[in-house]
Homo-oligomer: A and B are copies of this chain.
Amino acid sequence: MPAKDFYHDTVRVALEKDGWLITHDPLYLRIGKYKTYIDLGAEKHLIAAEKGSEKIAVEIKSFIGQSDIDQFEDAFGQFLIYMTALAKKDPGRILYLAVPLEFYNRFFDDRFFVELAEQFKLRMLIFDEVKQSIVKWKK
């Protein structure tokens, strides 16, 4: 089991407030010969006439510490590898990178990274680290 990220509990609370049921903490994922874990698995029952439920996996990054660009490079590489593995193993589950609002605001004011995120389908869940709530989803 990996060490829990600094904002692990914050994101868990934010998801629960938003009506998600946490189903995995962490979520096991085999990547080639490696055993890895995505921080959280969650699901939400769809409303009205829709059948079934929405399933997500959430990888949490605090972005505290080394330089923003170094941390983003790491998170970005990991996200794409997990996304590729998850698409094979559990194609109905969508991966999100949980990103603290403060980091999101200062890093994604840069057009290059906004376009990069779109190009590589980097899905993000932006959370308010103080209010412990979800601010927006970038799908």
Contacts and interface: CB of A to CB of B under 8 A. Distances in A.
Interface of A: 31-34, 36, 69, 72-81, 84-85, 110-113, 116, 119-120
Contacts of A33: 110, 112
Contact of A74 (B32, B73, B111, B113): B73
A20 B72 CA distance: 32
A76 B85 contact: no
Nearest to A68: B34
Contact of A76 (B34, B81, B110, B119): B81
The interface residues of chain A, by DSSP majority, are classed as helix
A85 B33 CA distance: 31
A111 B30 CA distance: 13
What 4 pairs across the A-B complex have the smallest Cβ distances? A77-B77, A32-B112, A32-B110, A76-B77
Contact of A77 (B75, B110, B112, B119): B75
A120 B32 contact: no
A36 B33 CA distance: 33
A84 B72 CA distance: 15
